[in-house]
Chain A
């Protein structure tokens, strides 16, 4: 019972084990809107002061982004161009206020189809580090996100970090978000494009689309089509490239619109990224 703010991960895990109904809270930017005017859970475990949970560190295998790292932390961090899409997404998360509070892991755990952070992290082939009572495990982000508001996080577990592996040399990236207004807007669709080139030709590509399927999706057919194309002529996204998507109609736009907007945003994101090769 109560609000606990452990500084050690073990304490957080044991509190979680003791209170089956405990909820984890970090930035609060999804927690409170979901709560509305209803009563708050009686046991809350605040993970923002756990040692090692906040900040970005370069490791032997890439980068470790602590779970409670805020979007503003991402914006301020000295990161190479392969992170440009993630940084652009960070700037598009809600508003300055939301970016200062909201955390990277919170964005993943909330598992919204329109989570701005997901496409860039998928395009970086990020992995989610999960601490549990018995062990710490890692899952590719694509395996962590299971559906709308559904993740692979088990009872008693806490997401502790996001690992971004070392990226191919020279990777560039870009992020495009489409909304009905300038700030504080839930995406109609968004695209992250990470690419790298060798000798004037695209050597590899990862293109990811959010808000056009229950979980953001890579577009393998498009990625395959891009490889080998000249950097200054990457070709156009075609309908068959979008097979993994299943856009829905809602207040933000029709399914058909989403499909066509994705096509356009893919082309724009790819060209924007390639401009920096």
Chain B
């Protein structure tokens, strides 16, 4: 029996009628309109829903609403209008302490509670206060800086190179940004999915209609039979193999077999849904999947081999035979979960004969095209309106909620919503590929590399997703940013009865970098060379061919990264030595590793188009189709465009990536948006500027001013209202496309896969508790060649966030289906786990990049894990070849040394 419940919400009386045992977070969001309260886990593990209850921070998802009766509940919406709130709001923006913004309300509320009790907290007090709120984007350091009120490093007004606030930072910090689950109005039908509980299972459905009509609150059900077009989706042509609903056999734990459309406030127990599962023998590792007689995931893929990638140059076997020293090893890593704090969510409705899908995504146009195939419709009938994205990191490139939303809206004719639970998100969406790598690398006495062989198996799970990209990218990158004349690398993706592995920041390269960079350390040791100098000696340079035979005559910045790290390297090694001389139970170590990453698709077209216009009122509109998933594309693309056009950033108005009004800027992946969409934005800015100057017959160098509906260039004036407007209301417009120049790879992987690479080198300092095997990272120095930093604060944010993910991958993260399907068994770094990061921005301009800029999004975590492993070795003498290096595993490795 539900009763009315009165609370004081943000200082005002509020009342609702929650169900018995309803979570306060649900009541606040769905009955009281407080959508600034975010739900990330419903288990107290992420803290996104933090509110103050009588002044004390609590997870609203753990408070029965009735328990709050008569008490004061404060959310960010109320707290931000307080002295602490206003000050913190400004500092969060100044430090860019919000990236995607999904954890920001929880962070802000927790921080305001702290600042009320302790106006000038020290760092450990900040960590204690924020330890209960997880952030997956920032690496926490900017948040700590903001809460402590450390000075911000803002500069300029928004020109290329200026460290300005994010242009969408205010709303993200205010908690008003609308994410996937923030769109649906209260009362919207709610979709829930029925998922397979086994790695592999045959299943039969009972009488769904009878169940639906007998079960209060159930409106309709959906199964594979409700898919009007093809019951398959995927991201790579030829590998479209994942069903929306499994048809008779589920191939991984968590695969959807049916959906239930429920009334908004219904309580439906999915345990009563009429389905019976029969577990079948499953293969869960590449070894099992490749064994003779193993069940095939897809009948047309013998041996469960999805596909492979291959690169060869020179004669690696002969080179290894003549090498003076050889290092080799077998390296493994497990599934890594993206663990963005926003589970997949969205809302869909029919508008006439079209479907309109509002959901969090990294790839709106790909979503549209995939949905058209699933629906069997022309794509003109599909509109994708992306919501803000509460973290993506690669997994939101794939469809998740979208097909179910569309099918449910189609079946019922009513708007529907769907938000994955944390467990569903972890079970059913893509993961980083587990890797199983055999690698040999040789060198000669003079310190030069001499041959490398790389054989990698990647567990690609039940469906292809971005597995082919991983298989192709890894051989192209597994050399690292070094000159190797003799090289052979082969990678294969192997299907298993596991969740699909897909895109995760680096597409397999973070895994291969572990093997290569750890073996480089071993080679340096065998040669008695300094690890940094050995790398610098072999670093790729302008004019030297890559392992694909591509020769860059400019823009190769890895040598400059090593140069930048050299002073920190020397001082950190000396400090560690001094520390170790006076400590027994704990030892410090310093490790280095490098990485490179080709920006954009591998030897495939990946154009971005940017449309811009000026209205009769003088508003300068940038149709910005590059999904900002927290990395800052909205700000970067706008800064580039404004600079090219020659107007201040503050004068640019953004229209987002709605497929009805904004051209395709491609997917947010492959570190391509700053580079590719940025180049399109620069061209669009140039074109618009040229059109204006041409109209006013002004020279190229003229300064353009737009004010009060007029364009002013020197003495010339143009009243915009007098000009004819097009159908979109623009009196000036430009639309420009950029596609990076690449060449196909031949059968030996030789060609020009990318127009540019970005380069990075990280230095990690760790402290190891020898008796317990626990590793505490105590500092990073990260050198990144970004060509030209469009906004240095954004660069730092990417670097710090990437390092946090690399740290997690190295030390704590492993997704095990059925065992770590939540955020208390699957651990990601907390605010207490991230040490300070010094970011050294290296700018080796690239001829293709806008103003010389290069991509960065994935480079930022590639060197982190191997740098940590090398630091652990330096501290302890233990060489780890598997991640994560949990205390238990390091302890075993340390014991094996003695």
**Interaction A to B:** yes
Q: Is the CB of A3 within 8 A of B45?
A: no
A28, CB-defined interface residue at 8 Å: yes
Question: Which of A142-150, A164-172, A177-185 forms contacts with chain B?
Answer: A177-185
Least CB separation from A95: chain B residue: B132
Given contacts A36-B42, A257-B773, contact A48 B67 (CB under 8 A): yes
Q: Across the interface, which residues of A come within 8 angstroms of B421, CB to CB?
A: 36-37
Q: Is the CB of A28 within 8 A of B131?
A: no
Q: Choose from B59, B67, B127, B772 the contact partner of A97 (Cβ within 8 Å).
A: B59
Q: Across the interface, which residues of A come within 8 angstroms of B58, CB to CB?
A: 97, 100-101
Size of interface on A: residues with Cβ below 8 Å to B: 51
Given contacts A42-B20, A261-B887, A261-B891, contact A183 B131 (CB under 8 A): yes
Question: Which of B228-236, B646-654, B818-826 forms contacts with chain A?
Answer: B818-826
Contact with B along A95-139 (1 / 0, CB 8 A): 111101100000000000000000000000000000000000000
Q: Choose from A72, A185, A257 the contact partner of B891 (Cβ within 8 Å).
A: A257
Q: Across the interface, which residues of B come within 8 angstroms of A96, CB to CB?
A: 57, 110, 128-129, 131-132
Q: Is the CB of A32 within 8 A of B42?
A: yes
Q: Is the CB of B64 within 8 A of A28?
A: yes
Q: Is the CB of B44 within 8 A of A178?
A: no
**Could you tell me the distance in whole angstroms from the C-beta of A73 to the nearest C-beta in chain B?**
11
Q: Is the CB of A3 within 8 A of B3?
A: yes
A235, CB-defined interface residue at 8 Å: no
Q: Is the CB of A25 within 8 A of B64?
A: yes
Within A241-258, which residues are at the interface with B (CB < 8 Å)?
A: 251-254, 256-257
| Residue among B50, B57, B271 having the largest count of chain A Cβ atoms under 10 Å | B57
B170, CB-defined interface residue at 8 Å: no
**Could you tell me the distance in whole angstroms from the C-beta of B483 to the nearest C-beta in chain A?**
39
Least CB separation from A261: chain B residue: B772
B251, CB-defined interface residue at 8 Å: no
Q: Is the CB of A98 within 8 A of B44?
A: yes
A20, CB-defined interface residue at 8 Å: no
Q: Is the CB of B830 within 8 A of A181?
A: yes
A264, CB-defined interface residue at 8 Å: yes
Given contacts A40-B20, A184-B132, contact A178 B829 (CB under 8 A): no
**Could you tell me the distance in whole angstroms from the C-beta of A2 to the nearest C-beta in chain B?**
4
Q: Across the interface, which residues of B come within 8 angstroms of A225, CB to CB?
A: none
**Could you tell me the distance in whole angstroms from the C-beta of A188 to the nearest C-beta in chain B?**
7
Q: Is the CB of B42 within 8 A of A180?
A: no
B886, CB-defined interface residue at 8 Å: yes
Given contacts A96-B57, A96-B128, A254-B888, contact A101 B63 (CB under 8 A): yes
Given contacts A38-B271, A260-B891, contact A3 B423 (CB under 8 A): no
State in angstroms the CA–CA spacing of A200 and B814 once bound together. 48
Q: Is the CB of B819 within 8 A of A251?
A: yes
B318, CB-defined interface residue at 8 Å: no
Given contacts A28-B63, A44-B21, A188-B887, contact A97 B132 (CB under 8 A): yes
Within A223-277, which residues are at the interface with B (CB < 8 Å)?
A: 251-254, 256-257, 260-261, 264-265
A15, CB-defined interface residue at 8 Å: no
Q: Is the CB of B56 within 8 A of A72?
A: yes
Q: Is the CB of A184 within 8 A of B62?
A: no
Q: Is the CB of A2 within 8 A of B1?
A: yes
Q: Across the interface, which residues of A come within 8 angstroms of B369, CB to CB?
A: none
Q: Is the CB of B23 within 8 A of A100?
A: no
Q: Is the CB of A257 within 8 A of B892?
A: yes
**Could you tell me the distance in whole angstroms from the C-beta of B60 to the nearest C-beta in chain A?**
9
Contact with A along B810-837 (1 / 0, CB 8 A): 0110101001101011010111110000
B261, CB-defined interface residue at 8 Å: no
State in angstroms the CA–CA spacing of A95 and B773 once bound together. 24
Q: Across the interface, which residues of B come within 8 angstroms of A84, CB to CB?
A: none
Q: Choose from B20, B22, B44 the contact partner of A29 (Cβ within 8 Å).
A: B44
Q: Across the interface, which residues of B come within 8 angstroms of A33, CB to CB?
A: 42-45, 62, 822, 824
Q: Is the CB of A40 within 8 A of B892?
A: no
Within B554-608, which residues are at the interface with A (CB < 8 Å)?
A: none
B774, CB-defined interface residue at 8 Å: yes
Given contacts A44-B21, A180-B812, contact A3 B42 (CB under 8 A): no
State in angstroms the CA–CA spacing of A48 and B267 once bound together. 26
Q: Choose from A35, A178, A184 the contact partner of B830 (Cβ within 8 Å).
A: A184
Least CB separation from A44: chain B residue: B21
Q: Is the CB of B50 within 8 A of A97?
A: yes
B47, CB-defined interface residue at 8 Å: yes
Q: Across the interface, which residues of A come within 8 angstroms of B56, CB to CB?
A: 72, 100
Within B84-116, which residues are at the interface with A (CB < 8 Å)?
A: 110
State in angstroms the CA–CA spacing of A98 and B58 once bound together. 7
Q: Is the CB of A252 within 8 A of B830?
A: no
Least CB separation from A27: chain B residue: B62
Contact with A along B127-154 (1 / 0, CB 8 A): 1110111100000000000000000000
Q: Choose from A46, A181, A184, A251 the contact partner of B816 (Cβ within 8 Å).
A: A251
Contact with B along A177-213 (1 / 0, CB 8 A): 0101111111010000000000000000000000000
Within B191-226, which residues are at the interface with A (CB < 8 Å)?
A: 192
State in angstroms the CA–CA spacing of A270 and B49 once bound together. 39
B379, CB-defined interface residue at 8 Å: no
**Could you tell me the distance in whole angstroms from the C-beta of A187 to the nearest C-beta in chain B?**
12
Given contacts A3-B3, A38-B271, A184-B824, contact A98 B59 (CB under 8 A): yes
Contact with B along A39-71 (1 / 0, CB 8 A): 111111010100000000000000000000000
**Could you tell me the distance in whole angstroms from the C-beta of A219 to the nearest C-beta in chain B?**
18
A94, CB-defined interface residue at 8 Å: yes
Contact with B along A1-36 (1 / 0, CB 8 A): 111010000000000000000000101110111011
Q: Is the CB of A178 within 8 A of B774?
A: yes
State in angstroms the CA–CA spacing of A51 and B134 once bound together. 36
Q: Across the interface, which residues of B come within 8 angstroms of A100, CB to CB?
A: 53, 56-58
Least CB separation from B19: chain A residue: A40
Least CB separation from A4: chain B residue: B66
Least CB separation from B420: chain A residue: A37
Q: Is the CB of A40 within 8 A of B21?
A: yes
**Could you tell me the distance in whole angstroms from the C-beta of B545 to the nearest C-beta in chain A?**
43
Q: Choose from B59, B832, B891 the contact partner of A101 (Cβ within 8 Å).
A: B59
Q: Is the CB of B66 within 8 A of A5?
A: yes
State in angstroms the CA–CA spacing of A150 and B128 once bound together. 32
B69, CB-defined interface residue at 8 Å: yes
State in angstroms the CA–CA spacing of A261 and B833 once bound together. 20
**Could you tell me the distance in whole angstroms from the C-beta of A59 to the nearest C-beta in chain B?**
27
Q: Choose from B3, B43, B827 the contact partner of A185 (Cβ within 8 Å).
A: B827
Q: Choose from A1, A5, A72 the contact partner of B1 (Cβ within 8 Å).
A: A1
| Residue among A25, A100, A185 having the largest count of chain B Cβ atoms under 10 Å | A100
State in angstroms the CA–CA spacing of A254 and B830 once bound together. 23
B771, CB-defined interface residue at 8 Å: yes
State in angstroms the CA–CA spacing of A38 and B268 once bound together. 8
Q: Across the interface, which residues of A come within 8 angstroms of B64, CB to CB?
A: 3, 25, 28, 44, 46
**Could you tell me the distance in whole angstroms from the C-beta of B652 to the nearest C-beta in chain A?**
39
Q: Is the CB of B771 within 8 A of A253?
A: no
| Residue among A5, A28, A41, A46 having the largest count of chain B Cβ atoms under 10 Å | A28
B747, CB-defined interface residue at 8 Å: no
Further 17 A-B residue pairs, CB within 8 A, beyond A28-B63, A32-B42, A182-B831: A2-B3, A29-B59, A29-B62, A32-B62, A33-B42, A33-B44, A33-B822, A36-B42, A39-B267, A40-B21, A41-B20, A44-B66, A98-B44, A253-B886, A257-B887, A257-B891, A261-B887
- 7 A-B pairs in the complex with CB atoms less than 8 angstroms apart: A28-B67, A40-B22, A94-B132, A96-B110, A97-B59, A180-B827, A264-B772
Question: Which residues of A pack against B, CB within 8 Å?
Answer: 1-3, 5, 25, 27-29, 31-33, 35-44, 46, 48, 72, 91, 94-98, 100-101, 178, 180-186, 188, 251-254, 256-257, 260-261, 264-265
